[in-house]
Amino acid sequence: MAVPPVAGIIGYPVTPFVPDTGELDLERLRGLTGELVDAGCHAIAPLGSTGESAYLRDAEWDAVCETTLDAVAGRVPTVVGVSHWSTETTVRRARLAERHGATAIMVLAQKYWSLTEAELEQHFAAVAAATDLPVMLYNNPGTSGVDLPPLTVVALARKIPAITMVKESSGDVARFRDILDMSEGALSVYNGSNPVALEAFRAGASGWCTAAACLVPRWCLELHTAALHGPPERADALLATLLPFLKLIVDRGLPRTVKAGLDIQGRHAGPPRPPLRPLPAEDTSRLRELLDRLDAHPLTAAALPGG
């Protein structure tokens, strides 16, 4: 099996906006990105759904891409989400990401009209051919409306050699093992569904793509270490403590919950961009409670089973 260019905890930064104007706050983005790297994330992945990529104007997308990669400055690998409805814009974004030093690009099939298998293949092939970067194929049927089952994923990778990684966000853990088996280990798989993080690592996932690292990076890193190096009961205990928080940020929507959490921590990133609205007060109160509980937890080997 080839060594993947990214592995471990892959942090997804939000895109900060100035509260009064709604414009990009690039200095805040630089700071938040640096905090993810300094906290120990093994890679950074800007411009996913957490980064509100779908709501950015072209010039804003370009600025976020350039600023994030400049802030990382090669300290850890970077995976830039280049997805767009159109092949032309996705290709343009891929080339820009390469020009600014991205390690890899991530491509989600987004649809308005239903796409045929031939259209999907054509789209991914065009984007892959646009750069020399490895491609992370992203399957997230909940947000894209397109589901790429393991058989389709492996078939695409065989036709398009640049596809070497797959981010699987359906929450179906069996797919991780299926992709690994069907590709005979040629594809590296990554988990994008926060609640199944531990199961995914145990099923062979190379990494966990998560916005949770914006708020509780140490917990994410500890879970990764425990999943890989055990003992199993420590990993189980970590996940059990972390799970209510993970479920809340997924259920209520990552951009609004992560930004609310940053506000709670005094690390403001502005509001989400309309049509998204800030997290309601009741949910914010629950999020504060969960963050306080995690912050107060000793998170030491002696405090958890297997320590």
Active site residues: 138, 167
| SS3 assignment for the chain | CCCCCCCEEEECCCCCECCCCCCECHHHHHHHHHHHHHHCCCEECCCCCCCCHHHCCHHHHHHHHHHHHHHHCCCCCEEEECCCCCHHHHHHHHHHHHHCCCCEEEEECCCCCCCCHHHHHHHHHHHHHCCCCCEEEEECHHHHCCCCCHHHHHHHHHHCCCEEEEEECCCCCHHHHHHHHHCCCCCEEEECCHHHHHHHHHCCCCEEEECHHHCCHHHHHHHHHHHHHCCHHHHHHHHHHHHHHHHHHHHCCHHHHHHHHHHHCCCCCCCCCCCCCCCCHHHHHHHHHHHHHHHHCCCCHHHCCCC
CA distance linking residue 100 with residue 68, whole number of Å:
10
- Tell me the CB-side half-sphere exposure of residue 4, using CA atoms within 13 A: 27
Task: Name, in order, each residue with C-beta under 8 angstroms of 198's C-beta and a sequence gap of 6 or more.
Answer: 223, 227, 235, 236, 238, 239
